[in-house]
Amino acid sequence: MGLFDDEAPDAPPPGPSLFGDAPAQEAQKAAAYRVLARKYRPTSFDDLIGQEALVRTLRNAFAMGRIAHAFMLTGVRGVGKTTTARILARALNCTGPDGTGGPTPDPCGVCDNCKAILADRHPDVVEMDAASNTGVDDVREIIEATRFKPLSARVKVFIIDEVHMLSKAAFNALLKTLEEPPPHIKFVLATTEIRKVPITVLSRCQRFDLKRVPVETLAAHFTRIAAKEDVAISEAALTHIARAADGSVRDGLSLLDQAIARGAEDGGEITAPMVADMLGLADRGNVFDLMDAVVKGDIQAALKISDASYERGADPGVLLSDLLGLAHLLTRMKSVPSLATSGALPEMERTRGAAFAEILSIPFLGRLWQMLLKGLQEVETAPDRRAGAEMILIRLCHVADLPPPGELVKKLTENPTASIGGATPGVPGGGGARAVANGNVVMQAAAPRTITFQDVVALAQAKRDAMLYAHLRHSVHLVRFAPPVIEMRLTEDHPRDLISKLSHLLEDETGRRWTIVLSTQQGEATIDEQEGVATAQARDEALAHPLVQAILAQFPGTKVETSEAPEAEPDLPADWAALVPPDELYEGDE
């Protein structure tokens, strides 16, 4: 019997080999094991979970005969991009059990094309990993292959995975073929980084965004698979796995595989604590207990829970991440009360979560979220992750009993010692003429309206003359403003036509000729310089205010930042005729 005969060679004798190896049959059995992610890989559109929109669109496309020449599949890892590409390849090339069928969204799985594509050995379905084939030469091989008709399939299908890894030259080489491929060619591109794909490529493809699979959908899917595998696993354990999968079916199946192996040593049901221990998670009940300790400001209880989680192997950063996730859940339950009665949440979230959501406020939860986000960054950079996490918990407990900033401001404002008492020098109307809002000091004056050089600047802004407006603000040192005469000193960077443009602007608006006089006197500071000094002065006055001082004392380390207020519309006089000089001033011109 030759080595290449169809018949299998004689089976080896039972028992260990000469070198004490395991029996060959056991080795073959171990080698033949297929992980759950491969064993339960979808083979039809009906098997895809959580991608209803994609399936509906593709089914309609096959029914109407409107099948694109190029598809772009995008989404996070493990949601079914490559699987969808292979199903598409079979759907395009299926010939049915009798060999006479055409393209169909429900490939038979028994024809030669279906079986060959399922086994990854069809010569007309070419898969290329762009992560390891990034160059233009790799793409040229594909372009060259498109010149030839399929060997046995109806159409050739080129599947390019992680297409965003292609070089710029490779993308450029692909463009023409991707836009106008031969009728016997289909392209299916897949990527996890859609933003890195050039828009010129995206515009030539029909794009499908595969969604993250919801936790409840994943948990139900894993329940069905566990039943097929005859594995006893609790609902809470499956929920842990579904959450850890983060929307990825493949990641979840890999974790389920691991949990099954983890539970094999006990022989009983795989429980939530076992899965939590495997994943390094804190027990869900402990997370709620930790939230309770933080809300009450009980540092001793919070540290005790942290210590117990650490001893069980939970990572300190993961503990804070779980607390962060609980803060998000409680905020959602606070905003959408119907979640407390929906079946989308496990029992503990519905009961204990609803109780927390009832007593906690949105401002408190928002502050907790921000502090945990910053705390997670500190833990990642801390020399000792456990110490970093404990410092964050201590900080949270101390802050828990502080009133929110809005309430604190209100209390300080109502306190006579911190109120805005007395008049502000130089500002009519007393203390109410100055307000602090969003970090900006807003000066409000009630002085009588007079015509000034600022009105001329506002006119330039109203006329949408951006260059003239800008130079009137930062290039003009006003010496004298006495309509129809303006005396000024200009900076060295002023444009040569500034005087003529200003004269034309005023003459067009008033119907009179104006005199612009250049002076060598120092004059006033430019408008930009005046505003800069005023802003700095207003900021210093705001910082010195008792209310601001009280806030800074309550929140040590707080920085006061200033931001420019949005530019208001030009405040022009109601009647620009007020700027027109009397006729007698022009008698000498007539």
Q: Which residue has the higher pLDDT, 178 or 314?
A: 178
pLDDT value at 85 more than 70: yes
Give the pLDDT mean for 158-175. Answer: 90
| Whether residue 14 has pLDDT greater than 80 | no
Is residue 540 helix, strand or coil? helix
- Helical packing angle, 385-400 and 299-311, nearest 10°: 150
When the pLDDT of each residue in the chain is averaged and rounded to a whole number, the result is 80
Residue 429 has pLDDT above 90, yes or no: no
pLDDT above 70 covers what percent of the chain?
Answer: 78
Task: Look at residue 189 in the predicted model and tell me its pLDDT.
Answer: 94
Confidence of residue 573 (pLDDT cuts 50, 70, 90): low
Averaged pLDDT for residues 95-121: 90
pLDDT at 526 over 80: yes
- The residues facing 125 across adjacent strands are 157
Tell me the domains of the chain and their CATH numbers. 37-209 (3.40.50.300), 280-402 (1.20.272.10), 453-529+570-576 (3.30.300)
Query: Which is more confident, 546 or 201?
Result: 201
Distance CA 138, CA 399 (A): 58
Q: What is the pLDDT of residue 29?
A: 54
Average pLDDT over residues 63-82: 91
The overall longest dimension of the chain from CA atoms, in Å, is 128
Tell me the pLDDT tens digit for each residue of 190-219. 999 999 999 999 999 999 999 989 888 999
Higher-confidence residue of 279 and 379: namely 379
CA separation for the pair 182, 124 (Å, rounded): 14
* Chain position carrying tokens 């928002």: 366
> What is the model's pLDDT at position 23?
53
pLDDT of 6 reads 40
- Look at residue 418 in the predicted model and tell me its pLDDT: 42
Q: Which residue has the higher pLDDT, 131 or 70?
A: 70
φ and ψ of 549, to 5 deg: -60, -40
484 preceded by a cis bond (ω within 30 of 0): yes
Over residues 464-519, the pLDDT tens digits come to 888 898 889 989 999 999 888 899 999 988 888 888 999 888 888 888 888 899 99
Cα separation, 58 vs 45, in Å, equals 9
314 pLDDT higher than 90: no
The predicted model scores a pTM of 0.55
Q: Where is pLDDT greater, at 185 or 412?
A: 185
* Alpha-helix runs per DSSP H in 401-518: 405-414, 453-462, 466-474, 498-510
Bigger pLDDT: 37 vs 21: 37
Confidence of residue 308 (pLDDT cuts 50, 70, 90): confident
Per the model's pLDDT, the better-predicted residue between 398 and 393 turns out to be: 393
Res. 589: pLDDT tops 90 = no
Length of the chain: 590
Over residues 336-391, the pLDDT tens digits come to: 888 877 766 766 777 888 888 888 888 888 889 999 999 999 998 888 999 999 99
pLDDT of residue 351: 80
- Rounded to 5 degrees, φ, ψ at 179 are -80, -40
Residue 300: pLDDT band (50, 70, 90) is very high
Q: CA torsion sign, 145 to 150 to 155 to 161?
A: negative
Confidence band for 446, pLDDT divided at 50, 70 and 90: very low
Residue 564 confidence (pLDDT) above 80: no
Are 323 and 286 in contact, with CB atoms under 8 Å apart? no
User: What are the b/e assignments for 432-468, b being 16+ CB within 10 Å?
Assistant: ebbebeeebbebeeeeeeeeebbbbbbbbbeeebeeb
Phi then psi for residue 35, to 5 deg, are: -65, 160
How high is the pLDDT of residue 340?
A: 76
Task: Report whether pLDDT(17) > 50.
Answer: no
Instruction: Categorize the per-residue pLDDT at 25 as very low, low, confident or very high, splitting at 50, 70 and 90.
Output: low
pLDDT tops 60 at residue 551: yes
Predicted confidence at residue 30, as pLDDT, reads 52
Q: Which of 403, 396, 408, 404 is nearest to 295 (CA)?
A: 396
Condensed to tens digits (0 to 9), the pLDDT of residues 498-511 reads: 889 998 888 888 88
Q: Which residue has the higher pLDDT, 136 or 346?
A: 136
Average pLDDT on 239-262 reads 88
pLDDT, residue 549, reads: 76
Tell me the mean pLDDT in the region 324-337.
Answer: 89
Q: Is the pLDDT of residue 102 over 50?
A: yes
pLDDT band at 32 (very low <50, low <70, confident <90, very high): low
Integer CA distances (angstroms), 372 to 368, 369, 408, in order: 6, 5, 22
Sign of the torsion formed by the C-alpha atoms of 448, 449, 450 and 455: positive
Contacts of 311 (CB under 8 A, 6+ apart): none
476 φ, ψ (degrees, to nearest 5): -110, 120
SS3 452: coil
Q: Give the dihedral sign, CA 300/305/311/313.
A: negative
β-bridge mates for residue 208, sequence order = 73
Give me the pLDDT at residue 442, please.
Answer: 28
State the pLDDT at residue 411: 59
